[in-house]
Every structure is written in C-alpha cells, then in structure tokens.
Chain A
C-alpha cells in the first residue's frame, strides 16, 4: 500500500473472498433491506425486514464459525481475518442478533421505534402517527449497515479502511439514536449530540492517520510498526498521530474523558438501540483498539502504556463516581459502561496473549449482561412508556417473579460478584494485568467497590423499598424480547459457573495476524 508501489500498471490485490463472507452477508442483507423499503408494501415490511435481518445475522454467524481457525491477511494486508478478529465478529453478531430481537419488539405498546422520524415533533401528523402501529422499518437495514461496519472495524490492519469502517458503523447509529417513539425531543437531541461529537472524533481519527502517514509513509499498521524502529522522522509525529487516533477510538468505546456523549445518548435513544450501541459498538471499538495498539504500536508500548494507565483510571473513577448521583436507570447503565471501559483497558495494558484473551472474554460477559439489562428496562412501564426513573423501580421485587431477580443477577455480574460471568471476566482481566500493573489492579478493584454501590442501590430499591403509588408495572413481552433476555441472562449465569469453554475459545483466539511489509 505504499506510494512507491504505484507503477504504470495497477496490480489488483488478491482477495480471499471466503474469509470475508460474514461481512458480505451482513452488508448484502443491508442493501436488500434498502430495496425492501422501496418495493415491499408497508404492511409486510416489518416482518420481512425483521426476518431478513435475523436470518442474515445468523448466516453471518455460521460463516464465522465455519471460518474458525482461519488466520490470514487479505486485500493487500488491509484486512486480517484471525482468531481475535473472528472471535470479535462472532461476539458482535450474537449481540446484534439479541439487540435486533429487542428492536423488533412490537407488543410493548406497538414498538420502541418511531413511526416517522422525520416528522416535526408535536405536529398533528406526529401525534396521529404515534397512535398507529407504524414503525420506521429503515431501522433494520441501518442496524445491518452498522453491524457491517463493526465487523470490518476490528479486523482492519489498515487505518484508512478502519476509518471507513468507523464511518459505516457510526452514521447508522446517529440515525438510530433519534428514532425513539417516546420523548421524541430527547431522542433527537441525543442523535444530534452523538452526530456532532462523533464527527469531531472522526476528525481526530483522520488527523491522526494523516500524521502517522507522514511518519511512516503508509497507513498500514504493520508498516507503522516497522517505521517506528527505522524511520528518521521526528517521533512527535508518531506519538501525536497515535494520540489523535486513540481519541477517536476511545470516543467510540466511551472511555472517559471522551465519554461525555454517552449518558445523554444512552438515555435519549430507544432502549433497544441503546442496548445495541452499548454492546456491539463497544466490542468493535475495543477490538480496533487492541488491533491498533498491539499490531501497529507493539514496539512502542513503553511509551503509550502510561497513557492507557491514566485513561483507564480516569474512566473507572469517572464511571463509578458519576453513576452514584444518577437517578435515571439508563444513565446509570451508561456510566457503568464507562467504568467497564476502564476495566477493559486495565487488561489491555498488559500487551500479552493473556491480555487479548481476557479482554475478549470480558467483552462477551459485559456485552451480554448489558443487552439483558437494557432489555429488562424496556419491560418496566407506566402510562408514559418506560419507567426509567430510579424511584419508579422501588418495590419492583414484589411485582413479578422474573424481572427483579434477573436484574439482580445481571447487576451482581456487572459488580463482579463471584459465581457470575462478570466476576470471571474481571478476574481474568486483572490477572493478566497484575504482573505489570499491580497498583492499577488495586485501583481497579477499589473502583469496582464504588461501582458496586450504585448497582446495589438498584437492588436495594427493587427489593427493600415500598413500591410507589401508581408505580409502573411489568409488561409481558412477545417471544422476541423473551428469547433475547433468556439467552443473554442464561449465558451470563452459565459463564459464571462454567467459564472454561469460552475461556478456551478466547485463549485460542488470542492472536493477531500481521503481514510484515516488504
């Protein structure tokens, strides 16, 4: 990919098409979804789109399974289909299936998705549409495009491709954030905020690429790695480039101090979309962070590690402390996701095979618990839609036999209490980091104690407090949400008791394929 290699005739790079099937399937389904919007009658769109999306995601997941053991770089080294990449793709696809099931839910008063996102909020047309069962079915192809971007994001060995993937995954998310059926203005504000800040972050990312290109004469991660030891350009270019690059990545992964959009966007977006963003985007973003740092900057790890230390501590502390003062359950979960981003970074500090494996495992446990938690939030409703105020959750334990105990298990998992998946994940991450960063592990554990406080606060409210007058009720969902919740919760419990299979999988997957330039 270097400029020098541009002679008179252009050699098309060889492409290992079979390794890209998961990506092709998802993007293909997304394109078909757009066509469906144009040609299928409105009445049948919802069912067609939902069925097609799920089928596409399942097919892509099967393709990932068939590709297991693959380890190659293709498209002139721009894409690395390797263990880590496939593990991440598989995780993203599973979480996307669950999230799409939540998005497709229609029995909880019609749908979480608005009928016509473009209609002026509060206009008569808007009110009229709100009473119909219509839904903006474009949400499905948008989600598929986003998933497509997420699949490419963590397997890019080339920064420009990574940038394209970043945009492909971000743009649909900006739109999806604005599609909430209730609290339309909040939702649109969230979309706007996410878009503006996201655009900034993309600009940072792009600027970083430019500086790195100036340093290494290439946007290939392997070329940057090689240049770090041979280049005679000033190192400032390298470090500044890296810094700007990771700002863009940290933004997507909602790592503090680049997190400010997270609570607002998580709160304003339709909860099902929030579940999608909080799990899939995070997995993809951390996959990309691992790829950039471990492939492109492996030799300079002594230089960037202190920064990761600082960012990890900031993220854990900000997430844990700010969550304490929140009164909205979606915002609490948003801050919790910021704290978790910090915990994941603790694992990344180590730069070992164990570090990759533990991060992969943690992402799975975190992602599934998050989807399930947001899924449960959609079930607690009153006349105005979802009851997201913490006070409304008081006494929930007496209202139904499932929601409160299930939420408790998920919260305990996020808090890292033993016999849950979250504990195994935390243990694995901290063990990987201990050798190099024992003080960081202690700080991380103390922040998890703080974080435990706000998780417990929800449990206290649900079980130990009296329910308020006219409090919300627990709605019985359709099989879509039920399946998603059951799967996510079952895996969370199962991984806490018998983590060995997934640990093995993560451990075997923990390698990164690179090409040496030349």
Chain B
C-alpha cells in the first residue's frame, strides 16, 4: 500500500547533494556534470511518475501515497502523496532545475564568467550542492500530505535559498538575503501558530491533511487560523502588499537562484492557498475571498506599472512576477473550475516563461556585466539568436495567443468573469501593462543603435541554448496542446472546490475546459 515512488523522487536530489558536498572542491567539472546528471535523473523519474498518474474517472485524489510514522508524540507522519495540482507543480520544479544548473554552469568559475563586475569566484561545489538541496526541499513541500511535514519543508527551504542569495548574489546580497529570510520567517512563524491551532482545535490528534478537512471549527477560530496560513502564503507568493522582498531578492540572487526563487519557491505560496487555505478553512476562505481578490487585482496593476518604470532588468522581471501572481490569486479565489485550473496552469507556465526570461536576461548580463537596461541597446543585431529567444520569452510573459501563458490567463479571466465581472475587466487591463513592460524592455535592450559595449557580445552558446530552449519548447507545446496538463489538474481543482462548497456559476461549462485549444 505504501508507495515509495515519491520517496525516491525526493531522495535523488538529497543524496546527490550530499555526494556533491563530498566531492573534491577543485574538480568543478565533475561537480557540474554530476549535478546535471542528478537533476536529469529526477526529470526522467518525474516524467515516468506523471505518465502513470491516473486521471481517469474515479481515480483517487492522492496518488503514490506512502505514510510512515515520524514523531509519534505529536501525531506527525512522514506522508507523501500527490494530487493533480501537486503532480504538475512537482514536475514543473524538477524540470526547471537542470535549466538552472546549465545556466549557472560557469557563473562562479572565474571573475570573467561572473554575472557582474567585481565579483570574486566562489565555491562551485557549495552552489551546486545547495541547488540540489533546494530541489529536495522543493519536491518535499509539494508532495507532503501532512501539515507538519509541509511546514518543515516550507521553512527549511529558506535555508539553502538564503545561502544561495547571500553567498552568490549581487552587491547588496547581504541585505537581500536577510530581507528574504525575515519576511518568509515571520510568515512562517505565524503559520506555525496556525498549524498548532489547527491541530489543537480540530481535536483529531493528527496532522494528516485529509483527516483535518472539515474538522477545523468554524467561526472566529477558523478566520484566525486562515489568516495565519494566508499571511505566510501571501508573503511567499508574494501578494501585494507583502511583496517588497521579492524585487530585492530577485535582483540580488544569482540568475539560477532567481529562477528557482520566482519559478518554484513563490509557487509554494499560491499552492498553499489552493491546498491548505481553501480546503481546511472553507468558511474563512469565502469570507476573505473579496479581500484577496481585490489585493490580487491591485497587485496586477500596481506591479505592472512598477515594472514599466524599472531600470534594473532583474528587478523588472521580479515585478512582472508580482503582477502574474495577482492573476494566480484571482484565479484561485474566484472559486470556479476554470479559474482554479487556469491558476494552476498559470503557475506552471509562469515558472517556464519567467524562468526563460530570467535566463535570457542572465545571459545578457553575463555578457554586459550590468543589470541596467540603459547599458544595452541593439543587441539583437549582434546576437540574433539571443534576441529571438528574448523575444519569445517576453511574448510568453505578456501572454501572446499561441503561448501557454495565454491559455492560463484566458482561463483565469473567464473563470473570474463568471463571478466577478468588474474585477475581471480590471485585471484584463493588466495585459496591456504586460505588453508595455515586455516590449519596452525588448526595444531598449535589443533594438535601436548598437552600443559600443554590445558590439563585442558573443551570441548564445550551446550550453545556454540547452538551458533556455527546453523551456521555450514547453511554453509553445503547452500553448498549442495544454490538454494533458489540464486533465491532470482538473479533478484536483474540483475536489478542492467541493471542499470549499462552491459550484461553478450557471453559464460556465466546465466540460469544455481544455478541449478548445
């Protein structure tokens, strides 16, 4: 009955990480290839898992379930299992890691390879060891079905990320790392209070997610506990007004770290909304939904405007993410199948599209040693392939039809529109802002007069192409044929909404979802 499938998926990067820390420090080539091999093994592993995930009618909500007692005194189990949402997000995280490994291949070798000026070479071994360790925690956080275990992964995940930003980041890395850690920690500790609260007030004597559903007392208690979880996730996601750490962390983190931070770590926040806030606190979720929706829409517009005004490319991408998280937020809290499915798909697409955007920006920065938009110009003429990839990544960020991001944005807006017309219309204007910030960025860096500095740029090399290309391919593929992913997500969303006690409003046609693209 107890399946070890997920344990294997989890242990591959952990064991890999421990081995990396044991490899000789000087042999960077070995370390890099080994890390890449470990991450690719996990990719193959997750593809096999995804292929065997049962999406048929009557399939269990959680699959590959396994549970082992951990701390008996607290009623804590090490229990794993994935529903459709978690399955898709785990796959997303696992696929993103090799791209990050490839993108960071030479970042810490010598000074000339560093992303920015005046950086000393740093320990390659530590970096790749931390990336694998982070992958371990990222997988763990998605596959835990025990609230305590989830919390452990949720908090412990901070530590490797903190060191990645703090040791390998840009000039203001100390500040950014500290801010990142403290924001997340405050949220996490409030959540810990709520975790204890859920345990005590439910009276079930267990932290098992499935057993806790429906046992949290309603009324004020539920609202407080909801807020405990919500603030933690809202900081993580990040939702305006809890977002201020992300631009700093995103800008100062090394590119690889930034991709994982925005691509995966932040998804834990939105994943948390769907997995924990909604099913555990249905009444409170309904009560607070208007507030969350409004905050999300404010986020879409506010972060969109801020992104337009950024001079620092990494900050700009970070702000676009804040705007995108607004879309995910309204998708989740609209309580419709399309909205929810769209939101999960959005998470996946966002990871690939922002990941790709961060990677091309990173490639540009390694060439130019500057994060400022103003230091570039006309790069597309010197480096046409990089320019093309930049454009594709940018277009996916602004949700051009044909890109996967369009499907998810459309689903989210449709799902929201059936319930909250005004908010959906306001959110739609965010698309215009997206077009502005992406195209202005592209125009200023890639088109126009070729600056002196840019003239010496080399075009993208094979390694960098291998990092970016799979993401672009995935974006295009999911844009044309999102059905397999939507089929996996849909039942889990329906279960979640059933936990909240919500049915789709009349005009919606849930059956049509996924069949049209």
Contacts and interface: CB of A to CB of B under 8 A. Distances in A.
B185 interface: yes
Given A434-B196, A463-B167, A427 B156 contact: no
Contacts of B156: 417-419
Contact of A449 (B71, B167, B178, B189): B189
A442 B182 contact: no
B226 interface: no
Contacts of B158: 417
Interface in B139-183: 151-153, 155-156, 158-159, 162-163, 166-167, 173-174, 177-178, 181-182
Given A464-B174, A503-B73, A434 B189 contact: no
A465 B173 CA distance: 10
B196 A427 contact: yes
Contacts of A412: 159
Contacts of A419: 152, 156
Nearest to A460: B174
Contacts of A430: 192-193, 196
Contact of A445 (B71, B159, B182, B192): B192
B200 A427 contact: no
Interface SS, B side = helix
A449 B185 contact: yes
Contact of A418 (B70, B155, B167, B196): B155
A464 B167 contact: yes
A463 B182 contact: no
A340 to B, nearest CB: 15
B190 A445 contact: yes
B368 interface: no
B215 to A, nearest CB: 16
Interface residues of B, number: 32
B186 interface: yes
A292 interface: no
Contacts of A453: 178, 182
A434 to B, nearest CB: 5
Most buried by A among B70, B71, B158: B71
A465 B156 CA distance: 23
A503 B71 contact: yes
Contacts of B186: 446, 449
A356 B196 CA distance: 18
A109 interface: no
A417 B184 CA distance: 12
B150 to A, nearest CB: 10
Nearest to B173: A464
Nearest to B123: A398
Contacts of B173: 464
Contacts of B151: 418
A291 B256 CA distance: 54
Contacts of B196: 427, 430-431, 434, 441
Contacts of B153: 418
A117 interface: no
Interface in A470-518: 499-500, 503-504, 507
Most buried by A among B162, B173, B199: B162
Interface string A78-95: 000000000000000000
B197 interface: yes
B72 A460 contact: no
Contact of B200 (A431, A464, A504): A431
- Size bracket, chain A contacts: 20 to 34
A446 B193 CA distance: 10
A49 interface: no
Interface string B438-475: 00000000000000000000000000000000000000
B182 A452 contact: yes
Contacts of A504: 72-73
A449 B192 CA distance: 12
B4 interface: no
Contacts of B33: none
Given A449-B186, A449-B189, A503-B71, A463 B163 contact: yes
B74 interface: yes
A457 B173 CA distance: 13
A35 interface: no
Given A446-B190, A456-B181, 13 more contacts: A418-B153, A424-B71, A427-B74, A431-B196, A434-B196, A442-B193, A448-B189, A452-B185, A456-B182, A460-B177, A463-B166, A500-B70, A500-B71
The 9 closest A-B pairs by CB, nearest first: A445-B189, A418-B152, A503-B73, A464-B166, A418-B155, A449-B186, A418-B156, A434-B200, A434-B196
26 contacts: A412-B159, A417-B155, A417-B159, A418-B151, A418-B153, A418-B156, A423-B155, A427-B74, A427-B192, A427-B196, A428-B73, A431-B74, A431-B199, A431-B200, A442-B190, A442-B193, A446-B189, A449-B186, A452-B182, A460-B174, A464-B173, A500-B72, A500-B73, A503-B73, A503-B74, A507-B73
Interface of B: 70-74, 151-153, 155-156, 158-159, 162-163, 166-167, 173-174, 177-178, 181-182, 185-186, 189-190, 192-193, 196-197, 199-200
Interface of A: 412, 417-419, 423-424, 427-428, 430-431, 434-435, 438, 441-442, 445-446, 448-449, 452-453, 456-457, 460, 463-465, 499-500, 503-504, 507
